[in-house]
Amino acid sequence: MQLKIMPKKKRLSAGRVPLILFLCQTISALEVPLDLVQPPTITHQSPKDYIIDPRENIVIQCEAKGKPPPSFSWTRNGTHFDIDKDPLVTMKPDSGTLIINIMSEGKAETYEGVYQCTARNERGAAISNNIVIRPSRSPLWTKEKLEPITLQNGQPLVLPCRPPIGLPPAIIFWMDNSFQRLPQSERVSQGLNGDLYFSNVLPEDTREDYICYARFNHTQTIQQKQPISLKVISVDELNDTIAANLSDTEFYGAKSSRERPPTFLTPEGNASHKEELRGNVLSLECIAEGLPTPLIYWIKEDGTLPTNRTVYRNFQKTLQIIQVSEADSGNYQCIAKNALGAIHHTISVTVKAAPYWIMAPQNLVLSPGEDGTLICRANGNPKPRISWLTNGVPIEIAPDDPSRRIDGDTIIFSNVQERSSAVYQCNASNEYGYLLANAFVNVLAEPPRILTSANTLYQVIANRPAFLDCAFFGSPLPTIEWFKGAKGSALHEDIYVFHENGTLEIPVAQKDNTGTYTCVARNKLGTAKNEVHVEVKDPTRIIEQPEYAVVQRGSTVSFECRVKHDHTLIATVTWLKDNGELPNDERFTVAKDHLVVTDVRDDDGGTYTCVANTTLDDVSASAVLSVVDVPNPPFDLELTSQLDTSVQLSWTPGDDNNSPITKFIIEYEDAMHEAGLWHHQAEVSGTQTTAQLKLSPYVNYSFRVMAENSIGRSLPSEASEQYQTKAAEPDKNPTAVEGLGSEPDNLVITWKPLNGFESNGPGLQYKVSWRQKDGDDEWTSVVVANVSKYIVSGTPTFVPYLIKVQALNVVGFAPEPAVVMGHSGEDLPMVAPGNVRVNVVNSTLAEVHWDPVPLKSIRGHLQGYRIYYWKAQSSSQRNRRHIEKKILTFQGSKTHGMLPGLEPFSHYTLNVRVVNGKGEGPASPDRAFSTPEGVPSAPSSLKIVNPTLDSLTLEWDPPSHPNGLLTEYTLKYQPINSTHELGPLIDLKIPANKTRWTLKNLNFSTRYKFYFYAQTSVGPGSQITEEAVTTVDEVQAVNPRISNLTAAAAETSANISWKYEGPEHVNFYVEYGVAGTMASRQVDIATQGWFIGLMCAVALLILILLIVCFIRRNKGGKYPVKEKEDAHADPEIQPMKEDDGTFGEYSDAEDHKPLKKGSRTPSDRTVKKEDSDDSLVDYGEGVNGQFNEDGSFIGQYSGKKEKEPAEGNESSEAPSPVNAMNSFV
């Protein structure tokens, strides 16, 4: 599947047909490479309204690109500007930027005007905006004489600024002679016009240096107005001033300074109008005078103020709306209000708009014969007029082009040719401004090219977006296809986003996005492709973050920061304190995964941040350290205002240890009743140091206070002096009063007695009263000692009683107690539930219904109904005495219930009983029911026995829970090959009475998997599985046979030969011995004369050899065999045994162990007893062998294994020549 993209952004959906987006129009992301022919494009120009600094050279920028490189020309005030005629004007090389040198001579005012740049080549001409050049101005204030102002306290005042008109407008602010800004408030503030407004003046406003400053940022100059003098006086001082200085003082009225309602200082009247351009900041201002100072409020009539764009400034006297739009037009009302009244002013706002783009024309690249459009759409208020130019000339007077047609704001091109290339300008203008856009039409025939660098490597973090660039160009506009993988597998997931510039976006990169991606661009003229590579890295994570810590001074704190990152990236961990570097202090230790601060101080508190960085990502985690401690205990406790029921306790707080005290806890001790035990008395705010404490009668009080902050509670203070209150009658009665019978004929009344603190005096007793609820009897009462129970005997069964218990002491009775209801004792229910019905739902669930018993027969509180049910015993179980019964209880007055967990295919019996607080009533008649069959459980066991080449026998035990009558067994099996793949499944039915089954015709040496289960008429049960293997294929053994054995003895050697028949690659052993030491095991051979002679000769030769070796060895020399062995370093020579005096044996058996004592051959290669003891066996394949003169054996070895080092060390003792016997290999 191929995915083709074109400029329009699309998201790929899985399963769709190949996505190909064709677009023969321009796209904003399409850039024509500069090595191709193209019309000019303005790339940089000065702003439309260009205010210059007259002290610097004038630089009017105009940069453009094109192929061939464009030439530049300028107009000034609509006519050609010949720069060659002005020595002060130069143009930068390969640029249209003008530099006017006014630093040496000339004036900036000379070059004021409207400039326009034209960039031209053979394909067309692009023009810049009209650039209006104006030098900045920072004029001085006109000189004026400012008279001192004398004003009565409370009167309004406006100090005018009226700054000179500069370019750009000045920034106004008021300061004094010391260049300190004058304080402003709701009463005194600066208006938008720069004037300083006083809602009312106060004596502290008197000063002689109210100075208005104008700052001209463009020229970095500040101009200042002459200082204004203000004196605020009272009425008495005013009369003196009038009399003495009336002739030379400007006087601002003589009204009284009494309070007055608001009046607007600006704007004037009840209504005004404001016009603003779209996109600007709308500023509305209302400043009012009055006494007291009025406050300003703003509303919009028939609407609400935009929340996110509304800003209040200047103490709410100025309302600003950011990025104002036509929707903000309407009536705004400001309201000035003080205690004496309110006034309002309505400002009608109209939002006009200079032209703004809806769709600006874009460059259009077409191939010969294609069609296209240039669209120029703009809006404004009033609606702008659209006009077209081509190559800087109004299109109406430009040369005619048959391929274009103008339709209002659109130029339509048809069947373009190379001569159709040109630059078109769209001008949208109204009375508030204009927009000018250049867009070229470039007719090219160009095969695709990829502009992105080849083999770019993109390293991205997992779960973040990845953007793979594929900048392209071609004409006709190419289609873009993306492939993944070296084999060109097409992208077909729905996780990709394709952008109009060819970029492939992976919104959430994952590890499987790693690989090579190929971008292919195609048009009818050719194909281009580019490969990029993506590596998706694991994100850096802080797996153990620092945690908030609260520590005490002098302790140690540790912040953990364990980082996990991609193993191919290098992570660095940096610690910050309060977003700055850690203090340069040895108490701060930074280890790999943590920061430790020892001996913590108060100034160590703050925010500690762990920052983990790699080249691709960074993460951080912060924790706050608070250095605090529990407060010190309060001290200086004092009791004052001591009354019978209250006392005032005061104390002095201890040090809070840098954590504010949140509360004080007051505790008391009752030395009379509970000495040594402290109880909670009260809590007060951490700002209080006294508390009024409510006291109880007959208590000997002591108090102590503890302070608590966010860290913990302080130690208790020292106890206060003791204070004992007088006795009084109890103010409360016992709680938890209950009446319950323990027997059917009694009523047990219980209560929670008062403690000594609550008794309020000595002699605490209780008055217990009761009577039947539904009778007319009077209360029966009895006074008992300080106990918690009283039993009333002789009551009827389960009758409601009214009960009350009242406390009293030697002073008097407690208030009248509350009445509670109880019941006399319960008895067992008398009636069993009737009409018991059973509905069997399925094989394991039954529903039971019954009729309720009469309420009077319950004789107690109804607890519910209880079902007893049990499974009927089989004949083999009936001898058991115990029947396992199960019980289910259903609370309340329910008349039905479900019995879950029944066994299928079983007989059950049940009965139902009613239950009250005393116990169960009689059982209902037994009701029997049966459950239907179910599916069986799995067979109890499955074993595979007697495996052979082609058969396996299965044995099993029936299911422990058949849950019905078994109908059959099902056996399924299938072979498993060496790669653990399962073969075809074979299904076999087996009669239900079988417990053994043999499978035949199986493959030898093959593993099989078995699935086995039983069935009833309901269906199959759970299966049991097993595996087994048939035995390997048997091979008929071929016994080796040696014949034609001959031996030719020489003086020091013997030549032995034989003929061998049998399997290849076997080992041969040659046995020899001294005559008389080896018993014959074959009578027929041993009695042969030739054999006896041969053996005697061989034995004699060996004996002579051994004697010679023994003599030479004792002399320190080496016998020939030893020399040969040393020369060849035979690793299999076994040492002589020290225990029996025999030589070790030579063998090439795989275990390389010496023969057992008395054995002549290895256990797996022994000569049978009927063979001769004197037979000679060796390695080989029917080849001849011989003994050399020195006694060593020379033979040809075929297929013999590489020898390994022998075990043990050589013996230093000489062997006995009589019993010596050795085997050579």
| pLDDT per position as a tens digit, 1083-1110 | 456 666 778 888 888 998 999 988 888 8
Helix (H) or strand (E) holding 426: strand 422-430
Cross-strand pairs, 423: 440
Question: What pLDDT is attached to residue 979?
Answer: 81
Report the pLDDT value the prediction gives residue 20, as an integer from 0 to 100.
Answer: 30
> Would you call 1090 exposed, middle or buried from its count of C-beta atoms within 10 A (0-12, 13-18, 19+)?
exposed
* Average pLDDT of span 724-739: 91
At 874, the pLDDT band (50, 70, 90 cuts) reads low
> Which position has the higher pLDDT, 241 or 949?
949
Indicate if the pLDDT at residue 69 is higher than 90: yes
Percentage of the chain modeled with pLDDT above 70: 82
Asked whether residue 1153 carries a pLDDT value surpassing 60, the answer given is no
Count other Cβ atoms within 10 Å, centred on residue 705.
29
**Residue 530 identity (one-letter amino acid):** N
Q: Quick one: pLDDT at residue 448?
A: 94
Mean pLDDT of 898-918: 93
* Gap between the Cα atoms of 424 and 440, Å rounded: 6
- State the CB neighbour count (10 A cutoff) for residue 997: 16
What pLDDT shows up at residue 1114?
65
Element (H, E) at 871: strand 862-871
Q: Are 857 and 867 in contact (CB under 8 A)?
A: no
Asked whether the predicted pLDDT for residue 1150 surpasses 60, the reply is no
Candidates 1155, 1165, 1161, 1167; CA nearest to 1081 is 1167
Measured CA to CA, the distance from residue 954 to residue 969 in angstroms comes to: 12
| 489 CA to centre of own chain | 33
Question: Average pLDDT of 1115-1139?
Answer: 40
Asked if 141 contacts 226 with a C-beta cutoff of 8 angstroms, the reply is: yes
Report the range of poorest mean pLDDT among 105-114, 458-467, 971-980, 1042-1051: 1042-1051
pLDDT of residue 237: 64
- CA torsion angle 1013 1016 1017 1020 (round to 10): -30
**Which residues does 672 contact at the CB level (< 8 Å), separation at least 6?**
698, 699, 700, 724, 756
What phi and psi, each to the nearest 5 degrees, are found at residue 719?
-70, 150
pLDDT tens-digit series, residues 102-130: 888 878 888 999 999 999 999 999 999 99
Full 3-state SS string of 701-717 = EEEEEEEECCCCECCCC
Distances (CA, A) of 586 to 227, 339, 590, 607: 58, 63, 10, 19
HEC profile of 128-168: CCCEEEEECECCCCCCCCCCCEEEECCCCEEECCCCCCCEC
Of the two residues 1068 and 674, the one the predictor is more confident about is 674
CB neighbourhood size of 746 (10 A): 16
Give the burial class of 612: count Cβ atoms within 10 A of its Cβ; 0-12 exposed, 13-18 middle, 19 or more buried: buried
For the cut 90, the answer to whether the pLDDT of residue 1120 exceeds it is: no
- Nearest-CA neighbor of 1069 among 1222, 867, 961? 1222
Confidence of residue 10 (pLDDT cuts 50, 70, 90): very low
Q: What is the pLDDT of residues 813-863, one digit of tens each?
A: 999 999 999 999 999 999 999 999 999 999 999 999 999 999 889 999 999
Tokens of 527: 């194909």
Rounded to the nearest angstrom, the gap between the alpha carbon of residue 1149 and the centroid of all alpha carbons in its chain is 66
Q: What share of the chain is helix, strand, coil (3-state, %, to 5)?
A: 5, 45, 50
Nearest CA to 1167 out of 1064, 1054, 1080 is that of 1080
pLDDT at position 585 over 60: yes
Strand 271-277, strand 341-359: pairing: parallel
**Cα gap 635→845, rounded to integer Å:** 74
Pick from 40-54, 333-347, 999-1013, 1134-1148: least confident: 1134-1148
pLDDT band at 55 (very low <50, low <70, confident <90, very high): confident
Burial zone of 174 (CB within 10 Å; 0-12 exposed, 13-18 middle, 19+ buried): buried
Predicted pLDDT of residue 712: 87
- Res. 1214: pLDDT tops 60: no
For 1028, phi then psi, to 5°, come to -155, 160
Report helix, strand or coil for 274.
Answer: strand
pLDDT score at 1119: 38
For 199-238, how does the pLDDT look when each residue is reduced to its tens digit (9 = 90+)? 999 999 999 999 999 998 888 888 889 999 999 997 666 5
How far apart, in whole angstroms, are the C-alpha atoms of residue 1113 and residue 273? 137
Which carries the bigger pLDDT value, residue 264 or residue 141? 264
Report for 687-696, 1051-1060, 1207-1216: range of highest mean pLDDT: 687-696
At residue 834, the pLDDT reads 93
> Which residues, other chains included, contact 103 with Cβ-Cβ below 8 Å and sequence gap of 6+?
55, 56, 57
Share of the chain above pLDDT 90, in %: 61
pLDDT band at 1128 (very low <50, low <70, confident <90, very high): very low
Q: Are 990 and 969 in contact (CB under 8 A)?
A: yes
Residues with Cβ within 8 Å of residue 207, at least 6 apart in sequence: 176, 229, 230
- DSSP letter for each residue of 958-976: EES---S---EEEEEEEEE
Q: What confidence tier does 34 reach under pLDDT thresholds 50, 70, 90?
A: confident
| Paired tokens of 138 | 């920072």
pLDDT the model gives residue 1140:
40
- Tokens 């003895």 correspond to 1049
The tens digit of pLDDT for each residue in 610-636 reads 999 999 999 999 999 988 888 999 999
Is a pLDDT exceeding 90 seen at residue 932?
Answer: yes
Can you give the pLDDT at residue 257? Answer: 63
Apex CA 821: angle with CA 818 and CA 826, to 5°? 155
What is the chain's mean pLDDT, rounded? 83
- What confidence tens digit (pLDDT) does each residue in 516-549 have? 999 999 999 999 999 999 999 999 999 999 999 9
Strand partners, 108: none
Query: What is the average per-residue pLDDT within 677-691?
Result: 93
Q: For 411-448, what is each residue's pLDDT tens digit?
A: 999 999 989 999 999 999 999 999 999 999 999 999 99
Structure confidence by residue, pLDDT tens digits, 1015-1059? 999 999 999 999 999 987 544 445 567 877 887 777 677 788 877
Residues contacting 1003, CB < 8 A, separation 6+? 950, 975, 1030
| 979, containing H or E segment | none
Per-residue pLDDT tens digits for 242-276: 555 544 444 444 444 688 999 999 999 999 999 99
pLDDT class for 800, splitting at 50, 70, 90? very high
The predicted structure's pLDDT at residue 560: 95
**Does the pLDDT of residue 194 top 90, yes or no?**
yes
Question: Nearest-CA neighbor of 764 among 710, 727, 717?
Answer: 727
The tens digit of pLDDT for each residue in 158-173 reads 999 999 888 899 999 9
Q: Taking residues 999-1004, what's their average pLDDT?
A: 90
Residue 1173 three-state SS: coil
DSSP 434-491: EEEEEEEEEE--EEEEE-SPTTEEEEEETTS-EEE---EEEESPPEEEEEETTTTEEP
Pick from 1050, 1044, 1105: which is nearest to 1074 by CA? 1105
